[in-house]
């Protein structure tokens, strides 16, 4: 299998006052195309840092990170933005839907940023996540589960090869959490690579592979 | 969905805040447009008024130049007079085409109102050939020519007898002066001799209107007129200069107020947009995460700022055009002299310049918030509390 993600001795350090915090330390990770990886670990272990690095929201302090065969170290914010727009979809715990835009318009945002003229993909992904019938509604008119489905549709609209989800069920009840997980499995079966950060072992078991982060180091479960 | 509709929707989130910001800009632009058009209208009106004098210069008794200017423009009380001899001498001067003796004075009516009496001979029609008079042009004895509006206000028709307010005498209305749109519409015209008698100034003149044969030789005539004892010559250019000097201080103060108002409104836009950026830090992080570039974020925030100021500018100009009459009315009651005719009106060039300035304000005021938003790290923005 071809690796979509390849991290070698990747570290991330933060400076907090005079103290240097080692969020990730010399991490090695390979994720092949089509995998569904769950990342678990206690709070402050470095899960979100890992996700931010993989999602090109941040760059490593040292080591290397190759996404889809391209070295990301030293890339400008513009180039990282291009990778994010083309190849990566994000799902956040807090949904981050714009309250004055309809469901359809929220999903359309990435296409607007990509200057895409053909916006027909919006309808497709809305139907894919089962929210097409609510496309003219505003976020405040939706349930938490529906809002997360809209956020997933927004993440999928650019046809990304990688979907990153940071605690995607953190704000949902168990029924909606199950529905989101079923959707993730379905997307994974369609060939989308998924990396999901969670602290819920039950949900992590639904992934094809699970890793644990503790004190900035990775171990396979 | 495009950047403009996204920016517009963002502004709709806090409608009251956006509306207040628009109002602040509107007030600044309202003041700017009103002041600008009033100033322009005032200058044009002043020139028009002086043009309507029909004379190139006036000879008056030596005294305060401001008093002389006030009398020339809207009548007044003058204590020093010229004589009929002065008129004869001026008429004989080389370069003088025409000289007309005038007697102008006023009778108080109370509450600051006055009746301005203009004693003239038929020769006045030589320097004001554009006057259209219905009825007689010849003034004798107790006859008057009244401006049409005044006759209407006094409820008197051509040929009827009227008691002129402030003068307890009856006069026959022999002529009606059609509206000129100038200060001439404010005066009661009667024979020179009659006016002199009313004010116990037989043989006296308040001014002599002079037309010269050649404008290039105006200064020669000025020198000759001023060679007469106790006589000064005031050219229309000097009158214009005097009024403009009087107006300059008021203009400087108003300009300062307008600039401060516009500056404060720009600060308002900056504050509103910057606050909105702080409130949406996480959303901005999300937009960058899903592919929005720094330039995209900058553009969205900048458009919001420009939309606010553009709306304020358009509202301010519209308000000034619609409500300009009120402002002009207020100015007329407070300024010592305001030319007749409309001063604040629709001026496309000033309207376009005012709106353009409001856009510029939006561009300047929005640049910093837009920059702040554009340089936010997506990761830090999403994690911000």
The average pLDDT across B208-215 equals: 86
Find the mean pLDDT for residues B40-57: 75
pLDDT of residue B336: 61
Whether B296 sits inside 8 A of A113 (CB atoms) is: yes
Residues of A in contact with B12 (CB under 8 A): 100
Q: How far is A81 from chain B (nearest CA, A)?
A: 6
Contacts of A140 in chain B (CB under 8 A): none
Nearest-Å Rg of the Cα atoms of chain A is 17
For residue B251, how many other CB atoms are within 10 A of its CB? 15
Q: How many CB atoms lie within 10 A of CB A33?
A: 15
Q: Which residues lie closer than 8 Å to B313 by C-beta, 6 or more apart?
A: B25, B26, B29, B354, B355, B357, B358, B359, B361
Q: Which residue has better confidence, A129 or B244? A: A129
Q: B17 and chain A: CB distance < 8 Å anywhere?
A: no
Place of tokens 């909606």: A176
What pLDDT was estimated at residue B64? 65
Instruction: Tell me what the pLDDT averaged over chain B comes to.
Output: 85
Name the B residues in 241-300 with CB < 8 Å from any A CB: 282-283, 286-294, 296
In the predicted structure, residue B112 carries a pLDDT above the cut 80: no
Q: Distance from A97 to chain B by nearest Cα, in Å?
A: 8
Q: Taking residues B355-368, what's their average pLDDT?
A: 94
Distance between A66 CA and the closest CA of chain B, angstroms: 18
**pLDDT for B73:** 61
Statement: residue B20 has pLDDT above 90: yes
- By the CB < 8 Å criterion, does B378 face chain A? yes
pLDDT of amino acid B297: 94
For residue range A196-212, what is the model confidence (pLDDT) as tens digits? Answer: 998 888 889 989 999 99
Compute the distance between CA of residue B293 and CA of residue A79 in angstroms, rounded to an integer. 10
Q: Which of A10, A22, A93 is nearest to A53 (CA)?
A: A10
Strands A62-67 vs A70-71: parallel, antiparallel or unpaired: antiparallel
What does the pLDDT average to over B97-111?
85
CB pair distance less than 8 Å for A110 and B13: no
A-contacting residues of B 40-99, CB under 8 Å? Answer: none
Closest residue on chain A to B281 (Cα)? A96
Q: What is the pLDDT along chain A (221 residues), one digit of tens a residue?
A: 778 999 999 999 988 888 888 889 899 999 999 999 999 988 888 888 898 899 998 889 899 999 988 888 888 888 888 888 888 999 988 889 999 999 999 999 999 998 888 888 899 999 988 889 999 999 999 988 899 989 999 999 988 999 999 888 888 888 888 888 998 999 999 889 999 998 888 889 989 999 999 888 888 77
pLDDT at B341: 67
Looking at the predicted structure, is the pLDDT value of residue B9 above 80? Answer: yes
Least confident stretch, A11-15, A181-185, B70-74, B369-373: B70-74
**Rounded-to-integer distance, Cα B94 and Cα B325, Å:** 47
Hey, is the C-beta of A32 within 8 angstroms of any chain B C-beta?
A: no
For residue A57, list chain B residues with Cβ-Cβ distance below 8 A. Answer: 288-289, 377-379, 382
- In this complex, is the C-beta atom of A154 within 8 Å of any C-beta atom belonging to chain B? yes
pTM of the complete model: 0.72
Do residue B12 and residue A100 have CB atoms under 8 angstroms apart? yes
B379 touches chain A (CB under 8 A): yes
Closest residue in B to A157 (Cα–Cα): B290
Q: Residue B67: is its pLDDT beyond 90?
A: no
Residue B340 pLDDT more than 70?
A: no
pLDDT for position B211: 87
User: In sequence order, what are the beta bridge partners of A43?
Assistant: none
Tokens representing residue B116 in the block: 């301005």
The pLDDT of B221-230, averaged and rounded, is: 90
Q: Do B290 and A84 touch (CB under 8 A)?
A: yes
Residue B335 in tokens: 């300024």
Q: Does A148 touch chain B (CB under 8 A)?
A: no
Give the pLDDT of residue B252.
Answer: 82
pLDDT at residue B203 greater than cutoff 90: no
Contacts of residue B290 in chain A, CB cutoff 8 Å? 84-85, 89-90, 109-110, 113, 154-155, 158
Q: Is the Cβ of B369 closer than 8 Å to some Cβ of chain A?
A: no
Of A66-75, B193-202, B238-247, the one with minimum mean pLDDT is B238-247
CB-based contact A158 B291, cutoff 8 Å: yes
Nearest residue of B to residue A85, measured between CA atoms: B291
Contacts of B120 (CB under 8 A, 6+ apart): B100, B102, B103, B139, B189, B190, B191, B192
Contact A58 B377 (CB under 8 A): yes
With 70 as the cut, is the pLDDT of residue B74 above it?
Answer: no
Nearest-Cα residue of chain A relative to residue B374: A77
Q: Which of B2, B288, B383 sits opposite A81 (nearest CB)?
A: B288
- Write the CA distances from A67 to A1, A3, A33, A109, B126, integer angstroms: 14, 8, 11, 24, 95
Stretch among B12-26, B51-65, B305-319 having the lowest mean pLDDT: B51-65
- Residue of A85, A87, A197 to mutate, interface with B, max B Cβ within 10 Å: A85
Which residues in chain A are closer than 8 Å to B287, comparing Cβ atoms?
A: 109, 113
Tokens 């020093």 locate to B80
Residue in chain B lying closest to A83 (CA): B291
Indicate the residue of A52, A92, A99 with minimum beta-carbon distance to B286: A92
Of B266, B262, B305, B286, residue with least CA distance to B11: B305
- Are the C-beta atoms of A61 and A24 separated by less than 8 Å? no
**Chain A CB contacts of B3 below 8 Å:** 112
Asked if residues B114 and B107 have their Cβ atoms less than 8 Å apart, the reply is yes
String of b and e for A145-175 (b: at least 16 CB within 10 Å)? bbbbbbbbbbbbbbebbbbbbbbbbebbeee
How far is it, in rounded angstroms, from Cα A164 to Cα A43? 18
pLDDT at B146: 92
In chain A, where does DSSP find H-type helix?
47-54, 77-87, 103-113, 121-128, 144-156, 174-189, 201-204
């Amino acid at each position: 299998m071809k690796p979509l993600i390849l991290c070698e001795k990747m570290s991330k350090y933060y400076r907090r006052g005079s103290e240097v915090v080692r969020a990730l330390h010399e991490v090695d990770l390979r994720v092949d195309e089509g995998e569904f990886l769950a990342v678990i670990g206690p709070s402050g272990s470095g899960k979100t840092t890992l996700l931010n690095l993989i999602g090109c929201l941040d760059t490593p302090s040292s080591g290397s990170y190759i996404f889809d065969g391209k070295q990301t170290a030293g890339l400008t914010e513009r180039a990282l933005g291009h990778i994010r727009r083309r190849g990566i979809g994000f799902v956040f715990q807090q949904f981050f839907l714009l309250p004055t835009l309809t469901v359809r318009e929220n999903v359309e945002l990435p296409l607007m940023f990509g200057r895409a003229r053909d916006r027909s993909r919006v309808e497709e992904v809305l139907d894919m996540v089962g929210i097409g019938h609510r496309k003219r509604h505003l976020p405040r008119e939706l349930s938490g589960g529906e809002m997360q489905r809209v956020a997933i549709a927004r993440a999928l609209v650019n046809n990304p090869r990688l979907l990153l989800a940071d605690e995607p069920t953190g704000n949902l009840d168990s029924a909606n959490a199950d529905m989101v997980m079923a959707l993730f499995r379905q997307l994974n079966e369609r060939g989308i690579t998924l990396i999901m950060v969670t602290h819920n072992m039950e949900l992590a078991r639904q992934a094809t592979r699970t890793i644990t982060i503790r004190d900035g180091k990775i171990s396979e479960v | 969905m495009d950047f403009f509709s996204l920016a517009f929707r963002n502004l709709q989130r806090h409608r009251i805040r956006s509306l207040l910001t628009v109002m602040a800009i509107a007030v600044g632009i309202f003041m700017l447009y009103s002041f600008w058009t009033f100033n322009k209208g005032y200058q044009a009106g002043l020139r028009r008024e002086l043009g309507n004098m029909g004379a190139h210069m006036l000879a008056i008794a030596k005294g305060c130049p401001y008093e002389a200017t006030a009398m020339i423009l809207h009548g007044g009380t003058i204590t020093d007079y010229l004589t009929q001899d002065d008129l004869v001498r001026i008429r004989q001067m080389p370069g003088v085409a025409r000289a007309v003796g005038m007697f102008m004075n006023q009778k108080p009516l109370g509450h600051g109102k006055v009746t301005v009496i203009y004693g003239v001979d038929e020769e006045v029609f030589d320097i004001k050939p554009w006057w259209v008079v219905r009825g007689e042009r010849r003034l004798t004895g107790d006859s008057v020519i009244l401006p049409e509006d005044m006759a209407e206000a006094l409820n008197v028709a051509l040929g009827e007898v009227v008691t002129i307010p402030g003068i307890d005498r009856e006069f026959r209305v022999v002529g009606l002066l059609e509206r000129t749109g100038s200060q001439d519409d404010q005066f009661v015209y009667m024979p020179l001799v009659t006016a002199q008698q009313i004010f116990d100034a037989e043989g006296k003149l308040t001014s002599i209107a002079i037309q010269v044969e050649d404008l290039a030789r105006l200064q020669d005539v000025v020198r000759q007129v001023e060679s007469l004892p106790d006589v000064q010559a005031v050219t229309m250019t000097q009158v214009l200069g005097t009024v403009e000097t009087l107006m300059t201080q008021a203009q400087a103060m108003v300009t300062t107020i307008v600039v401060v108002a516009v500056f404060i409104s720009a600060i308002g836009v900056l504050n509103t947009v910057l606050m909105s950026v702080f409130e949406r830090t996480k959303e901005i992080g999300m937009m960058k995460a899903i592919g929005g570039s720094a330039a995209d974020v900058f553009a969205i925030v900048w458009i919001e700022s420009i939309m606010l100021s553009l709306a304020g500018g358009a509202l301010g100009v519209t308000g000034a055009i619609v409500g300009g009459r009120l402002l002009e009315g207020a100015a007329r009651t407070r300024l010592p002299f305001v030319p007749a005719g409309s001063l604040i009106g629709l001026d496309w060039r000033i309207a376009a310049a005012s709106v353009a300035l409001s856009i510029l304000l939006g561009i300047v005021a929005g640049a910093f918030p837009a920059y702040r938003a554009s340089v936010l790290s997506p990761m830090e923005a999403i994690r911000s509390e």
